Structure formats: C-alpha cells, structure tokens
Amino acid sequence: MLSAPENELLCRVEGEAPMGRLMRRHWVPAIMSEQLAPDGAPVRVQLFGEKLVAFRDSNGKTGLLGESCPHRKASLAFGRNEECGLRCLYHGWKFDTDGNVVDMPSEPKASALPEKAKHLSYPTRESGGFVWTYMGPLEAIPEFEAPPWAPHDATRISIAKIELPCNWAQIMEGQIDSAHSSTLHSSDMRPAKGEATSKGEYWVRPSTDKNPRIQVQLTNYGMRYAAIRRPITNASTHDYVRITTFVAPFFALIAPVNSYNLTTVIVPRSDSSSYFHFIAWADADQPGIDTDAWRKFCYLVVGVDVDDHFRPIKRHAHNNYLQDRALMADGTSFPGVPGIPNQDIMMWESMGPIADRTQERLGASDIAIVQFRRSMLDAVRVFQEEGRVIGQVEPHIPQVKLRSYQGVVEKSVPWRTLGASDEEVQVLAGIEDDEMEGAAA
Ligand code: FES
Ligand SMILES: [Fe+2]
C-alpha cells in the first residue's frame, strides 16, 4: 500500500514529474527498428507525454523530432520522407535527422530563418531491435550500452509489442509478481515433471506450488528476486527457483525457458498509457523462436491482434478481451483468453489507468512488488536530492552480463549466485544486502 502522494510520485512521468525526469536520464527504447524503413512513412511516438515523430532517412539514419512543425505546428507525421529529410506538407519546410532546417521553400532565399528554426530533435542509437533515444540534459548523457537481450551481434531477438491504456508501474509490477503465473497463466505454464521448457503451444514448469516464497536482493541497477517453489520431484531436498532481474527503470528479465530467454520492456507513453514489449531472445546454444512464431504464441500478430502501429484491434476492454467462458468451464483455459500477454493485459487494464495503491491488501507473495516500489521511490528521492541516477553508479555491471534464471536446485545452493555472471557475483558481494522475507508492508 502506498500513500496517495507516493503513488503519484511512482506513476506520473509527464512534464516535470520527478519519475519522468529520472527516466529521461536513461536511454529509452523508443520504437522498434523494424517500424522505420529508409524513406518510409514517419511514425508517431509518444514518450513521457511528449509527442514525437520518428523516421529513417534515405541513408538509413534514424531521427526523432517533435511531432509539430516549428513553423505553424502542423503534424510532421503526414510529412514526406525523401532525399535525406522529412518535409512538412503544409509549407514544405524540410528537416534532417538532427532537426536542422535544410529547405524552406516558402521563405525568401536570403532569409535567416533556417538557422533560427532548428527543430526539437533527440539523439538516437540502434541496438537489440530498437531505436533508442535520450531525452535528458545533453551534458548528462550516459554512454550508450547494449541492452541485456543483445549480448552478441548474432543473438536472435523476437519482439512482440502492444500499446496499452494504462500506467507503466502496474505493468512493471506484473513482471515482478511470480505468484500470479501459477494462477492467471496456469493453462499456458503447465506443471509437469522434467525441465522447464517450451512445448510450442505452452510452457511447462516442474512445480505445482502456487504459493512461492519470495526473497529479494537489491542491486545498484535495480533488484533480483527469487520465487522459490516446491518441485514435483525431490521436494524434500530440492527447490524450484525462478529468478527475475529488474533493470531500472524499463526492463525485467523474467525466468527463461530452455528454448529461449525472456525480457519485458515497458516504456511510458504518457501517465496513463505505455508501450509493452515481450522479447524472446536466444544465443547460439538455444533453439530460439522466430518473430512470426513468437507473435503467434503471444497472440500479438500484426494485422490480426494489433494494427500496424501495434494498437490492439481484436481484444480490448470494450469486448472483455473476447473472454470465452465456455473454455473456462470445460477446463480448456483457466482465464478464457489465449496468449500470456493478453491475460496480463486484461488484469493490468482492469486496475484502472493509474492503479490506486492506497486501497490494496498486500500479502507475503507481494514482497518483491513492495520492494520495487520502495526502490523506485528511493531512486527518485536520491535523484532529486543528490542528482544520482539509478543504474549509473559505480561499480557498473554491463547490462549484457545480467541474466534471470530458473531451475531445480539443491536446497543448500545459495540462489543469489544462480544465473549471475562472475562479474555480477563479484560486484554484488561488495554491496550491502537488504533482503526481506516473510513480511509484507
Ligand atoms: S506548418 Fe510546417 S511548413 Fe508550415
Ligand atoms: Fe503474467
């Protein structure tokens, strides 16, 4: 439970809101690379309530500009993207990817306007299937680093994406909530003996336990937590451990299956809307899953479930996500909606545009969520008071070294080292533990 002011501090990201200011100090995954073709249609992107337009010029360079033309505010999303620039349809002003005005046909040749009219633009980089941007003060721009899901050039990355009408924090809390997976997703994550793996249509996990014990380890980039369940076999000597790694403020590495690793990326579009991405990624030693198969598995296929701009077109609140009560009654589907993300979306959106955390009843299985809130509220306070940015402190662990984990292990094995790279084990050994167990706030 949070007080009303704490909830506002956690959730609001627009304008001068402190959380938005903190998020702007990180590189932001603004749009998927595949959404921008050279000289292709410009794409509207909204970040922290700010309306922008992304495009890729004739040379393949990406740009992210203010959506409104600086001349008289017409939308550049209707513009012509040609010959290395985006041209406003109204009077023809043309901008390069850095926001420089490179043509101004409606003004006299000798006009000094082009120099004065430089348009709002944010720097961009490309990595891991995304175009990234930085929207904070330029003097504080952090070095760009590859994200956790792009450790190698050859890593195969499949991204499912959807725009959702709710606040970022309740979506992120869904990533840090292992307990729900045993109930909401019980038709898609089925208990079975053996290894946790993908069976094509569904995943299996070696546990029937719906009541995980949660243990949290704070890190200087966010946190890791373990959800510890009784395994189906060897329950007296072994634990089934699922570890989630939260990389503040946008990523959660959730427990992998054998075939691929999983990451969720949540980017605030406004106070009350977000871009949600579900990423399956695989290195050479894993089978992986291609983008088409992944989007089918997630029921987030472009042209079927979402439109070209990744907005829902099939299942949404107005049609109750096409929940099928016959399938619920006959045991085929516990939630009555196919696709793990759709099941989550139904829950996240039903909490309201910004969940009211002043009226909750939290339990022991919510410990990681309580810690996530504390960590992000602390991060905002430290940022406001000392200017320090979470994740941008020494010692820095390269993001490509971060991992989640799942597996059945002997009870004597300390979970903190599971899935952690040698670099991380060393770094974390020097950071004070702040573990909580058995008590929810
Ligand atoms: S409004 Fe864009 S050129 Fe005039
Ligand atoms: Fe979920």
For the domain that residue 114 is a member of, what is the CATH number? 2.102.10.10
* 397 located within any domain: yes
User: 115 pLDDT exceeds 90?
Assistant: no
* 148 located within any domain: no
299 vs 422 pLDDT, higher one: 299
Place of tokens 């007296």: 236
Ligand 1: residues with CB < 6 A are: 69, 71-72, 74, 88, 90-93
Ligand closest to CA 103: 1
Q: What is the pLDDT of residues 395-410, one digit of tens each?
A: 999 999 999 999 999 9
Given this model, what pLDDT does residue 101 score?
94
C-beta of residue 125 within 8 angstroms of C-beta of residue 150: no
**Over residues 216-230, mean pLDDT:** 95
| CA 125 to ligand 1 center in whole angstroms | 27
Ligand closest to CA 276: 2
d(CA 54, CA 63): 6
Q: What is the pLDDT of residues 308-338, one digit of tens each?
A: 999 999 999 999 999 999 999 999 999 999 9
Protein residue whose Cα sits closest to atom 1 of ligand 1? 72
Say if residue 257 is in the same domain as residue 226.
Answer: yes
| CA 73 to ligand 2 center in whole angstroms | 41
| CA 252 to ligand 2 center in whole angstroms | 12
Instruction: Tell me how many degrees the CA angle 432-147-261 measures, rounded to the nearest 5.
Output: 90
| CA 31 to ligand 1 center in whole angstroms | 25
Percent of all residues in the chain with a pLDDT value above 70, rounded to a whole number: 97
User: 39 pLDDT exceeds 90?
Assistant: yes
Single residue among 140, 172, 197 that ends a domain in this structure: 140
Q: How many domains does the chain have?
A: 2
**Over residues 140-160, mean pLDDT:** 97
* 287 located within any domain: yes
Single residue among 140, 170, 195 that ends a domain in this structure: 140
d(CA 206, CA 34): 36
Say if residue 172 is in the same domain as residue 132.
Answer: no
Say if residue 54 is in the same domain as residue 188.
Answer: no
Question: Of 251, 242, 275, 280, nearest to 391 (Cα)?
Answer: 251
**146 C-beta neighbours (distance < 10 Å), count:** 16
Q: Exposed/middle/buried for 103, CB within 10 Å: 0-12, 13-18, 19+?
A: middle
C-beta of residue 216 within 8 angstroms of C-beta of residue 373: no
* 117 located within any domain: yes
* 423 located within any domain: yes
Given this model, what pLDDT does residue 435 score?
41
d(CA 114, CA 119): 10
Q: Which residue range is the domain that position 209 belongs to?
A: 156-429
| Lowest mean pLDDT across 79-93, 217-231, 416-430 | 416-430
Say if residue 136 is in the same domain as residue 200.
Answer: no
Percent of all residues in the chain with a pLDDT value above 90, rounded to a whole number: 85
User: 436 pLDDT exceeds 80?
Assistant: no
| Lowest mean pLDDT across 71-80, 195-204, 289-298 | 195-204
d(CA 67, CA 43): 9
Say if residue 87 is in the same domain as residue 188.
Answer: no
